[in-house]
Structure 1
Amino acid sequence: MRVQNISGSANLDGDRVVIQSLSAGLATGGTVNATGSISLANGFPANVQVGLNSARYADGNLFVATVSGTLALSGNLTGNPLLSGNVRVEKADITVPESFGGGSALIDVKHVGTPKAVARTLARAKADERAAAPTPANRSSGLLLDVSIDAPNQIFIRGRGLDAEVGGSVRVTGPLNNIQPVGGFSLNRGRLAILGQRITFDSGTVTLVGDLNPYLNLVARTQGEGITVFVTVSGRASDISVDFSSSPALPQDEVLSRLIFKRSVGELSPLQLAKLAGAVAELAGGGGNNGLLDSLRGAAGLADLDIVTDANGNVAVQAGAYLQDNIYLGVQAGADGQSRVTVNLDITDDLTAKGSTGADGNSNIGVFYEKDY
């Protein structure tokens, strides 16, 4: 991360440096500020409070997040200082790659007649079996964490036909090289698009397992031709797998055929077989077909944008956005002139009020209580 526009003031008070004010902007967006003190005694004991204001972090590959909160840095800076506090995730995007580059095994190279200069360089870099020497037992584990992360909504997972939103809270503890998260994020809403089929997820979780490449487990149930289809999206965000099963049990290609085309594989035309193969390739990471919708959704600043069809084949456009952190507005407009507006109000983490009204005059409202155990 790169900071810029740094400004601040500090003074010496005996053996302490007192930070009266310190602020900086992040190159990716947002600001950070700090106050407190650092002792000049052995180990440099610190007592510093850090504020994050809509600070944006991006790893350049899978993860982008905007966070605010207050943290405290305490303990010896040269030992195992503790970073603790509370952080609220305003919005986060986890991108599932559309395709994966194949990795090649390294060639086993043996140096013949290695020049002395090269041999010295290799020795300094420890590019031999000595590089695998164990870490000394007394080596410091570095910065320790005890941070609570709150994100009731607006954590979006998108890519390869997947579009889901999760929320929840996690407490992250332990050293940086062995993070121990407690808690997780559960599904608010989500779907998987495959060859025009929209499969809605019933449940799901996102778990941190030590880094910003989280583990996903999303489950959906839908009806195929004479079967009940179960769809499971699981694995690290960088390497997910999509599995199809059914009741009664059938091979995956047969399950996909009955789900997408409402008929058995043996009854498919050559064109349908080609589409089925393309769907399998897409799910395996061969490219997605939602690029246009994703571009439009991002340009319009929406949380959701989709094209849906009902049982009679009527087409409608569905869009949604957060008016505030706890108020979600959804709009659906159909080609037949029918439209509908829905509003979700998160009263607490477990209590939600939902209401909707349509152009046909039908309206409804309800209060829902959900609790995860």
Structure 2
Amino acid sequence: MSGEKQTAENTKATRHWLKTGVLGAVIMLRHWLAWGLTVLAVLLLGLYGFMQYLKTDGGRAWLSQTASRAASTPDMKVDVSIGDISLTRLFVPALKLADAKGVFLEVEGLELGILPKTYILMRPALSRLDIARVHLGRLPNIPEDGAAVETQKAPADWPQIAAELKSFNIGEIHVGEAVYGQEQFFSLKSSIALSPRLAENDIDILLGAAAGRQASETTHAHVRLRVDEDENLIADAALRDAAGGMVTRLMGLPAGYDVDFALQGKGPYRDWQGTAQLRLGRELSGNFLLRLQDNRSLRVEADLKGPQKVAVTGHVTLPLQLSPPVLSLDEKIAGRFSTALDLRSVTLLLGLDDHRLAGRAQLTADVGGSLRQPVVDGSGTVRDASYENLAAGVKLSALRADIAATRSDIRISGISARTAGRGTLGGHAEISLRNPARPSFGFDVTLDKAQVLGLQNAQVQASGALKGTGDAAFMAIDGDITINKAEIYLAGFGSGSAASMLNIVEVNVPPHLRRAKRQAALPQGAYPIRLDIRADAPRAIFVRGQGLDSEWSAKAHVRGEAAEPQVDGHLKLIRGRYEFFDARMTFDSGLIDFSAGNLDNPDLDIKGSIKGKQVTANVAVSGTAMAPEVTLTSNPALPQDEILSRVFFDKSVTELTPMEMVRIAQIIGVMSGKLGGGAMDPISQLRKKAGIDMFSLNRDDKTGATSVSVGKYLSDGVYMSVDQGVNTEGSGVKLQIELKPNLQLETRVGSDNDNSVGINWKKDY
């Protein structure tokens, strides 16, 4: 009995302790729950108060300052305003990003869906992100040199967003002209499930044209990522970018290019494999092989070819892992590429219709560093190449260069080429990739009697040095050049025909031509070129055509934008004449002045004379090129209306026949620049084919004898001319040597013993 009694007592005691323990645990749990609810209530109240604070001016200022501190560049500012806010929803009416140049990105109507786990995990967990409108006016201002990159502040540590974003939609994306030369409108639709676990990822993104904004879709992109039941990642992506679309313009491809890209892949995340196909217009296409190695790095192998003997092969390894998805910008990358191409394909690839390249190039490059700061080491050669600029008529032959890439710099040395007329060109260039977002370049070019213009009506040879620097945003060219010789043929000198003043309107233009005209009229991104070039031509600028035969010297300073240059300088006459209507005007002096900065309408100060049998007419042209003023005087002095009739017909104006009156009217028209001096110029054509600098027919009014004069520059400052009489034996050779700019030695040897030696000194006032 005693044992049973003891057992009962023990059972009773156990029940008592259990009852007491459970009661205590319940009481403790109730206290903990009350404390937790109190803390949660305090946190929620604090969060609600903080949300209300964000809607005030002070809260908005604090939020904007915090976001600005998180920006990656010191001058970037964020301006954000908060609208409706609750525990499950946040609405931002407007958000603006600005840099030193002003606002470049505007976001309107941003709405966030907030998941309850945000308040448990204490980090944002979003269910959706919808944006009504995004306006990208231009790309952000990036530091211009490598040093600036090093001073960039590191991005702030934003809270990690739990991968719960189910949808991300943008109603309209407006890309401004400054981004790639033409504004476009797009929309973005997506459903997204992101997770650190690969099996929980599901992405479907579609980018297309905004409804009702564009006549046709220029850019279409679709990305689909999902995981099957065996945890294989299945990837499908496609990009179709028509000519003039967003991608082609951002890549800087020429007009008319389109881009097709497709990617497919399937496999577990540790050794995922995929393939991709790329086509750039009709000039380059090929395949890529993608392999993920142990979920740590992605190896990409490329094999691209083109119809014009273009071949690009190589590989690169990128620091990428899929689970969780991470692409490091600072870990090492490695790769090697080699290219062998026929240079004729380069002009096709770049769409340079007015340029021609020929020859072969070999390039090999090793890629290292990181995605944030890539390093390129390689070499290449260009041999026995040629280049032709059809617009300028410039031809380079025997073109060669050596290319060397070291770390973040690419150097092109040993550039040499020959031009027409036995001229040469040499130089070197350097491209810096220290700031990958904004590569910069520089070059030095030396010219030695190189033909820089070779058109049918204009040829120019120049010597000197030019230096250029720039990047993707602008280029500056500085230098000093000497014009060794210039031949300018004025096919329409003195002409102001009615045809040139007609307002022609095209009618019944075919639809495809109208579309081409509209495309050509679209605004293109202008690449500014800043000039600071000093040019000097002490002699040998020959201006000829339609009876005009003249030689000039020149000095000019060209500054400002290449599209609208400012020219400060002048042209000064050395010798010249103008033949029209069986008469010759001999120029005594001439000055065309651009010092006012008006290139199209320079000031004129030209003096000459027309010698008749008994009267010599002195002609003075002043005013501007667009409004010249012609003044006539004579020796002996005559009234204005008598001078031309006496010079050309040796009679008074009252004695002129009707036909002679018409001829006088034509002469006045030519002298005022309103009528042409004739449609043919056989003397200029003969001089051009004979390779001489001066060719003229001369007539002595006293004796009636005719002579031929031929002249040529033997070297700089040495000019020789030969005179030969027609139907006579008289001939002579004259040699002019320029000792100083104002001092000239002249010798003449004639068959009639008319020999002479003299020194000429001149001074312009």
Q: TM-score range by the shorter chain?
A: 0.7 to 0.9
Q: Output one character per residue of 1:99-131: Cα deviation in whole Å (capped at 9) or x when no partner.
A: 44423225599xxxxx9x99999987778xxx8
**Pairwise mapping of residues 284-295 of structure 1 onto structure 2 (< 5 A)?**
284-288=674-678, 291-295=681-685
Could you say which residue in structure 1 is the equivalent of 2:555?
169
Rounded to whole Å, the distance in 2 between the matches of 1:328 and 1:198 is 23
Choose from 202, 219, 223 the match for 2:607: 219
Distance 1:97 1:251, change over 3 A: farther
Distance 1:227 1:55, change over 3 A: closer
Could you say which residue in structure 1 is the equivalent of 2:537?
151
- What is the letter of the counterpart of residue 643 of structure 2? V
Q: Contact 1:19/1:35 (CA < 8 Å) preserved in 2?
A: yes
Q: CA deviation at 1:258?
A: 1.9
Q: CA deviation at 1:358?
A: 2.0
Q: Contact 1:320/1:331 (CA < 8 Å) preserved in 2?
A: yes
Q: Output one character per residue of 1:180-227: Cα deviation in whole Å (capped at 9) or x when no partner.
A: 333322111011112232221111124456769987653213556567
Could you say which residue in structure 1 is the equivalent of 2:546?
160
Q: CA deviation at 1:327?
A: 0.8
The answer to whether structure 1 residue 314 and structure 2 residue 712 are counterparts is no
Q: Contact 2:418/2:425 (CA < 8 Å) preserved in 1?
A: yes
Q: Contact 1:244/1:255 (CA < 8 Å) preserved in 2?
A: no
Higher relative contact order (CA 8 A, sep 6+): 1
Choose from 192, 197, 203 the match for 2:583: 197
Could you say which residue in structure 2 is the equivalent of 1:91?
485
- What is the letter of the counterpart of residue 65 of structure 1? V
Q: Output one character per residue of 1:300-342: Cα deviation in whole Å (capped at 9) or x when no partner.
A: 1111111111231221111111111211111112243222221
Choose from 641, 649, 656 the match for 1:268: 656
The answer to whether structure 1 residue 255 and structure 2 residue 643 are counterparts is yes
Rounded to whole Å, the distance in 1 between the matches of 2:462 and 2:514 is 48
The answer to whether structure 1 residue 365 and structure 2 residue 365 are counterparts is no
- What is the letter of the counterpart of residue 342 of structure 1? K
The answer to whether structure 1 residue 352 and structure 2 residue 744 are counterparts is yes
- What is the letter of the counterpart of residue 292 of structure 1? P
Give % identity: 27
Q: Contact 1:166/1:205 (CA < 8 Å) preserved in 2?
A: no
Residue aligned with 1:260, SS: helix
Rounded to whole Å, the distance in 2 between the matches of 1:320 and 1:125 is 48
The answer to whether structure 1 residue 21 and structure 2 residue 414 are counterparts is yes
Distance 1:233 1:62, change over 3 A: farther
Pick the structure with more helix per residue.
Answer: 2
Q: Contact 1:166/1:206 (CA < 8 Å) preserved in 2?
A: no
Of 153-162 and 27-36, deviating more is 27-36
Residue aligned with 1:178, SS: coil
- What is the letter of the counterpart of residue 502 of structure 2? S
Could you say which residue in structure 2 is the equivalent of 1:232?
621
Q: Output one character per residue of 1:31-52: Cα deviation in whole Å (capped at 9) or x when no partner.
A: 5333132211344333321123
Q: CA deviation at 1:88?
A: 2.0
Rounded to whole Å, the distance in 1 between the matches of 2:699 and 2:684 is 18
Could you say which residue in structure 1 is the equivalent of 2:335?
none
Of 203-212 and 34-43, deviating more is 203-212
Residue aligned with 1:347, SS: strand
Distance 1:370 1:3, change over 3 A: farther
Rounded to whole Å, the distance in 2 between the matches of 1:212 and 1:222 is 28
The answer to whether structure 1 residue 38 and structure 2 residue 435 are counterparts is no
Q: CA deviation at 1:343?
A: 0.9
Residue aligned with 2:647, SS: helix
The answer to whether structure 1 residue 187 and structure 2 residue 573 are counterparts is yes
Aligned length: 356
Choose from 331, 356, 363 the match for 2:722: 331
Distance 1:330 1:289, change over 3 A: farther
Rounded to whole Å, the distance in 2 between the matches of 1:341 and 1:288 is 31
- What is the letter of the counterpart of residue 158 of structure 1? R
- What is the letter of the counterpart of residue 164 of structure 1? S
Residue aligned with 2:753, SS: coil
Q: CA deviation at 1:24?
A: 4.7
Q: CA deviation at 1:240?
A: 9.3
Of 322-331 and 208-217, deviating more is 208-217
Rounded to whole Å, the distance in 2 between the matches of 1:63 and 1:235 is 23
Rounded to whole Å, the distance in 2 between the matches of 1:249 and 1:174 is 49
Distance 1:336 1:240, change over 3 A: farther
Q: Contact 1:31/1:55 (CA < 8 Å) preserved in 2?
A: yes
Scaled by the length of structure 1, what TM-score is found?
Answer: 0.78
Q: Contact 1:3/1:27 (CA < 8 Å) preserved in 2?
A: no
Q: Output one character per residue of 1:280-309: Cα deviation in whole Å (capped at 9) or x when no partner.
A: 565543352762222221121111111111
Could you say which residue in structure 2 is the equivalent of 1:112?
none
Choose from 67, 72, 86 the match for 2:467: 72
What residue ranges of structure 1 are gaps of 5+ in the alignment?
A: 110-114
Larger Rg: 2
Residue aligned with 1:102, SS: helix
Q: Contact 1:141/1:176 (CA < 8 Å) preserved in 2?
A: no
**Pairwise mapping of residues 291-310 of structure 1 onto structure 2 (< 5 A)?**
291-310=681-700
Q: Contact 1:161/1:289 (CA < 8 Å) preserved in 2?
A: no
Scaled by the length of structure 2, what TM-score is found?
Answer: 0.41
- What is the letter of the counterpart of residue 12 of structure 1? A
Q: Contact 1:330/1:342 (CA < 8 Å) preserved in 2?
A: yes
What residue ranges of structure 2 are gaps of 5+ in the alignment?
A: 1-353, 358-385, 387-398
Could you say which residue in structure 2 is the equivalent of 1:81?
475
Rounded to whole Å, the distance in 2 between the matches of 1:119 and 1:330 is 56
Residue aligned with 2:740, SS: coil
Q: CA deviation at 1:362?
A: 2.4
Q: CA deviation at 1:30?
A: 5.0
The answer to whether structure 1 residue 103 and structure 2 residue 501 are counterparts is yes
Choose from 397, 402, 405 the match for 1:9: 402
Rounded to whole Å, the distance in 2 between the matches of 1:61 and 1:212 is 22
Q: Contact 1:141/1:175 (CA < 8 Å) preserved in 2?
A: no
Q: CA deviation at 1:166?
A: 0.4
Could you say which residue in structure 2 is the equivalent of 1:343?
735
